[in-house]
Structure 1
Amino acid sequence: MKKTYQDMVSIVRIALGSAKGILYLHMEANPPIYHRDIKASNILLDPRFTAKVADFGLSRLAPVPDLEGGVPAHVSTVVKGTPGYLDPEYFLTHKLTDKSDVYSLGVVFLELLTGMHPISHGKNIVREVNIAYSSGMIFSIIDGRMESYPSKCAVKFIELALNCCHDETDTRPSMVEVVKELETIWLMMPESDTKMSESTESDPEKVFTPTSSSSTLKTLYTSQDISGSDLASGIIHTVTPR
């Protein structure tokens, strides 16, 4: 099957790599990190559509255990982020959690499948997709440039994205659950065995300098930032958040 950006296999591959990168930050980094600015332009791609999470300028350290061993449920902080991707509960309460990154990633997932911007002409992508899903018109909002795709995979992908974008923090899945669901969708795709072996191959790192800081998911770059493949290989990166 021809691999293009509008190809469902590439979309799931990008989503899975991005999710594994964020899972690395939440679970494997020492100390754990909340990215706080997940958006399309902060997820870079190499020519094989391997996703790399970039730009940690707004990142914050996750809460650490106190003297009694308890871990605070959130970080209280001034709201930072990008309109359209910003967790609404974080915006209202100033309480940053790992689920704030989950919300932002869910918006990216919706962008991948619909080709819509997070906010455009007064319309919000989460609201528009929710309306289409509730009215049974979900396939009408899938990017018209998409080639043929398995309808079951597309529906499960949209349902996952919408679950990530719930207004209530506790209703959203964890990053572990997001990765597991994406792996399930990946295996549902045609030629899943071939795709899985391709996804676990390790490529030599080649670094290129992006030509613009506003590069999007449709721009192909290679970066040395956190990637999904790094999580699988157990490589630990040093990231110094602000």
Structure 2
Amino acid sequence: MALLKRPPPALPFATQSAIFARLAEANPAPETELQFVNPFTLVVAVALSAQATDVGVNRATRDLFARVDTPAKMLELGVEGVTEHIRTIGLFRQKAKNVIALSRILVEDYGGEVPDSRAALMRLPGVGRKTANVVLSCAFGHPAQAVDTHIFRVGNRTRIAPGRDVDEVERAIEDNVPARFQTHAHHWLILHGRYICQARKPRCGVCPIHDLCPYEEKTA
């Protein structure tokens, strides 16, 4: 993610409210596209999604999660067993080791339960701040903002949440997006970036917020 020299000011509160009202009208209950069955399988899925697509992760974990849905069962499967399931995902060998390591910590330190604490989640191998925020948001309903490349792009293009790096964009969402939209904000932004405000050629012609967006290089 390229650093901006000086991020512009965020959009006014009224404009932010209008933008998120439209996104909410179009998709009232946005959800992650990763498939999971409980908080533990979500942790695993998000950890596996680094440098991989959600579609690829879902394909690899479909059979895995049908057999394994607790840290204890994952430990029984072992590194080699996990490896066989996720071989189609990038960096699968290291990710398999991380899955087993984080499962062991959950069993030994948390009684097999996934903690709803960012600090505790970030202790788990393969779990960074973005992963922890996804889990907090999707599994526990906390208004945590998981900033990826899509949200970084959308936040800066639209000036919903301008920032020079992902941490600044995360803080900008927390500071500028109206409170009533915080719970689903990162879902709306990531889906908007994935399907409408795309990197190479944003689909401005079908964008529900095109008249509220200050992006200068809009497409027809």
TM-score above 0.5, yes or no:
no
Which structure's CA Rg is the greater one?
A: 2
Pick the structure with more strand per residue: 1
The higher relative CO (CA closer than 8 Å, separation ≥ 6) is in 1
TM-score, normalising length: structure 1: 0.30
TM-score, normalising length: structure 2: 0.32
